[in-house]
Amino acid sequence: MILDDYQDVALGYADWSRLRGVEPWALNHHLPGPDWVRQGGTVADAEILVVMRERTPVTVALLDRLPRLRLVVTSGMRNASIDLDACAARGITVCGTSSSPTPPVELTWALILGLARNLVPEASGLRAGARWQSTVGTDLAGATLGVLGLGNIGTRVAAVGLAFGMRVVAWSPYLTDARAALAGVRRVSKDELFAGSDVLTVHLVLAPTTRGIVDAAAIDAMKETALFVNTARAGLVDGAALLAALDDDRIRGAGLDVFDEEPLPFDDRLRTHLRVLATPHLGYVTEGNYRRYFAEAVEDIEAWLGGTPVRLLG
């Protein structure tokens, strides 16, 4: 059973016919909780689940409703929403797939550019026949880009910033001067990162040590003209503090692709906030990534059926 196939493309992006004796099913709507499994038809009888990142958490409550489940395959090699201990206790194998860092880098810059040049209000105004030009854009060349987390994705984001002629600084808990220098950027303290950045973009892995690392104090230290972008994980940020800063005009705007609850509730204020450019967790949603995910999901299932599972998690 393939869950959360929002675009209804999973079955077309891989050769599922290779899996003899396996009948693939895909749900293109979200199951909003474990109790909904009963309403998902064949979900409750699934022996194999293919999940897309954290769209549906694989919790004890869900596992208790899937008595026949024996294999979980997730896109990517890290999924914090899968209870690996609970899976292991039930004899359920968990496998992952590879993932390209390029799509989230590209979306990060789409959000930065969209905010800096006010693309949504200007494009919406043009479409509606409203006033011709109503905003003044922000220059990126010469501005300071702050990168929180200089890993695989953050390093690539920094490279684009340098190409735009930005000054690029970075911080993460274990970043060294040497590692920053390899990326062509300068390591600063966390306080300096938030206080000095014109654009602050988040690229840390969510872990117990990083949850809430963008706290109220960090947000309060930002410039009133600063732009904040998060395409990593919502749990890294104090969402209430960020919303308060936006409400009080203490930062200029936020570009968000990740949220504490997904899909984002219809009445959530982030959907309509004038200082927010929000996208529905599209960071990894590209044709290339999807073809890679589902093709390797087929490989994972094939290997598991053959008794030699690959890309094991946990």
* Whether pLDDT at 304 is above 70: yes
Catalytic status, residue 30: no
What pLDDT, on a 0 to 100 scale, did the predictor assign at position 53?
87
Catalytic status, residue 233: yes
What distance in Å separates the CA atoms of residue 38 and residue 276, rounded to the nearest whole number?
A: 37
* 31: confidence class by pLDDT, cuts 50, 70, 90: confident
What pLDDT, on a 0 to 100 scale, did the predictor assign at position 43?
85
Helices 102-116, 119-128: crossing angle, 10 deg rounding:
70
Please tell me the pTM assigned to this model. Answer: 0.94
Q: Tell me which long-range contacts 113-121 makes (C-beta under 8 A, separation of at least 24).
A: 113/140, 114/255, 114/277, 115/227, 115/229, 115/252, 115/253, 115/254, 115/255, 115/277, 116/140, 116/199, 116/227, 120/277
Percentage, residues of the chain above pLDDT 90: 93
What distance in Å separates the CA atoms of residue 140 and residue 48, rounded to the nearest whole number?
A: 47
What pLDDT, on a 0 to 100 scale, did the predictor assign at position 41?
56
| Span 53-81, pLDDT tens digits | 889 999 999 999 999 999 999 999 999 89
Least confident of 53-67, 99-113, 186-200, 222-236: 53-67
Backbone angles phi, psi at 153, to 5 degrees: -80, -45
| Span 256-299, pLDDT tens digits | 999 999 999 999 999 999 999 999 999 999 999 999 999 999 99
Active-site option among 156, 187, 252, 281: 281
Contact present, 296 and 15 (Cβ < 8 Å): no
| DSSP-assigned beta bridge partners for residue 210 | none
Least confident of 31-40, 68-77, 86-95: 31-40
Active-site option among 156, 187, 203, 233: 233
Average pLDDT of the segment spanning 155-171: 98
Q: In what order do the strands lie in the sheet with 227-230?
A: 186-187, 167-171, 144-148, 199-202, 227-230, 253-256, 276-278
Q: Which of 118, 8, 11, 52 is nearest to 281 (CA)?
A: 52
Least confident of 50-54, 92-96, 165-169: 50-54
CB atoms within 10 A of CB 238: 19
**All domains of the chain in start order, with CATH:** 10-99+286-305 (3.40.50.720), 102-278 (3.40.50.720)
What pLDDT, on a 0 to 100 scale, did the predictor assign at position 39?
52
| Span 101-115, pLDDT tens digits | 999 999 999 999 999
Active-site option among 70, 167, 211, 262: 262
Catalytic status, residue 262: yes
Query: Could you tell me the two tokens for 298?
Result: 């087929």
Contact present, 46 and 38 (Cβ < 8 Å): no
